[in-house]
Amino acid sequence: MKKLVAVIVHFGFWICLLFTYYIAIDFWIWVQYGTLESDPISNLVTNTSPDFIKDYKLHVLIGFLVLCVPLFYLSYFIFKPKLIDKKRFLILFIFFATIIGVIAIAYLYNYHGNRIYPPVGLVILFTFLIISLLAGIVFRYLADYTVLKRQKDLLEKHKLNTELTLLKSQINPHFLFNTLNNIDVLISKDSEKASIYIKQLSDILRFMLYETKNELIPLNLELEYIEKYIELQKIRTSNDSFVNFKIHGETDELFIAPMIFIPFIENAFKHTSNKKSIDAIKIRFDFLSDSISFNCENFKNKSDSLIQKRSGLGINLIEQRLNLLYKGKHTLKIENSEEKYSVALTIRLDED
C-alpha cells in the first residue's frame, strides 16, 4: 500500500511538472509570435511555421525526458544519500557543471548546424533541470523522514512495552507477597471474606496479564483495578478510614494508557507512616470530557523521606511513559516534604 502511494505521488508530480513545462514553452512561443518583428533576438528563429513549432516542441519533450527525469532519480537515489548526506559536494558540483556544459555544447551544435533553437528554450529547460534536481532531493528527504519516523515510533512503542513490563515486574512481587500473607491469615478468621479477596486478586492478575497489552483501555477498567488494589491493601488494617478514595465526573467513553496511576498509589501505600490514622492516604480523580485530574497524597515516615524523594523505579518509569504517551498533553507535579508526599497529574485526552 505504501509503495502504491509513493508511485501515485511520483506519477502525479511528473504529470504536473510536464504540464507546467509545456505551459512555459507555449507561453514563450506566444510571446515570440507577438513580438517577432520588433524583437531582433527572435529573428534567430529561421522558421516560424507550424511544422517548426511542432518539431521544436518534440525536441523540448525529448530534452525533458532525457534530462529532467534521470536527473530527478539521480538526486533521489544517489545525490542525496551518497553525496549530500556524506557531504561530498564537490562531486555534485562537477556533475552539475558537466550538465551545463552538455547543454551549451548542444546549443552550439544547433547554431552551427543552422538548426538554431531559441536560447530561451534552453533557459526554460535549464530551469526545469534545477527543479528536477531539487525535487529529487526533497522527495528523498521526505521519504527518509517517513522511514525514520516509522522506525522511531516502533522503537518508542517497544520502549513503552519494555517499561510497562518492568513496571509490572516491580509491583507484582511486593504486592503479591503482602496480599497472599494477609489472605492466608484471614482464611482462618473469615473464610468467606478471604474468598472475596482471592477473587479480587484474581481479577487484578487478569487485568495485568491481558488488559495491559493494549495501548489504551477504557478508563472504567483502570478504575476497577485501582479500587480492587486499594481494597486488598486495606486488609492490613482494621481502619476503614485509612484511605480516602473519591471519583468525580463521568468516565464513560474515556480511554487511558494502562497502569498510569497505580505506581503513585502503590508508592503511597508503601510509605504511609500510620495506617491507623484517618485519611492517611487521599486519592482523588476528577473527570471532564477531555481531561483527567489525579491527586494522591499520603503522610509518611520521616525515615522514608530519602527513599520516597528518589521516587523509586516505578515513578521514574511512569514519568518516561507520560513523556512518550502524552507529550505536551500532561502536567505532573510532585511535592515532597518531611511529613507528606503528594502527586498532582493532569492528562488531556483530546486528539489535537
Strand partners, 297: 282, 342
- Higher pLDDT, residue 23 or 158: 23
Q: Which of 59-63, 252-256, 338-342 has the lowest mean pLDDT?
A: 59-63
User: Tens digits of per-residue pLDDT, 273-324?
Assistant: 677 778 889 999 999 888 999 999 998 765 554 444 444 555 777 787 788 7
Same domain for 334 and 251:
yes
Q: Which amino acid is at 69?
A: V
Q: What is the CATH number of the domain that holds 253?
A: 3.30.565.10
Same-domain status, 204 and 74: no
What is the spatial distance between Cα 211 and Cα 229, in angstroms, rounded to a whole number? Answer: 15
Distance (Å, whole) CA 91 – CA 83: 7
| pLDDT at 251 exceeding the cut of 50 | yes
Give residue 282's pLDDT.
Answer: 93
pLDDT at residue 333 is higher than 90? yes
For the ranges 14-28, 56-70, 269-283, the lowest mean pLDDT is seen at 56-70
Domain hosting residue 41, numbered range: 2-149
- Total number of domains in the chain: 2
Whether pTM exceeds 0.75: no
pLDDT band at 31 (very low <50, low <70, confident <90, very high): low
Burial class (CB in 10 A: 0-12, 13-18, 19+), 63: buried
18's grid cell: 510536464
Lowest-pLDDT range of 12-16, 76-80, 317-321: 317-321
Q: Which of 133, 149, 165 is the last residue of a domain?
A: 149
Let me know if residue 184 belongs to a domain. Answer: no
Q: pLDDT band at 119, cuts 50/70/90? A: low
Query: Grid coordinates in use for 110?
Result: 544547433
Angle between helices 119-189 and 262-271 (to 10 degrees): 40
Question: Alpha-carbon distance 247 to 36, whole Å?
Answer: 84
Whether 118 is in a domain gets the answer yes
The stretch 73-101 carries a mean pLDDT of: 77
The residue out of 82, 117, 149 marking a domain boundary is: 149
What is the rounded average pLDDT of the residues 107-127?
59
Query: Do 133 and 114 form a contact (C-beta atoms < 8 A)?
Result: no
On whether both 135 and 237 belong to a single domain, the answer is no
CA dihedral 318→324→329→330, nearest 10 degrees, is: 20
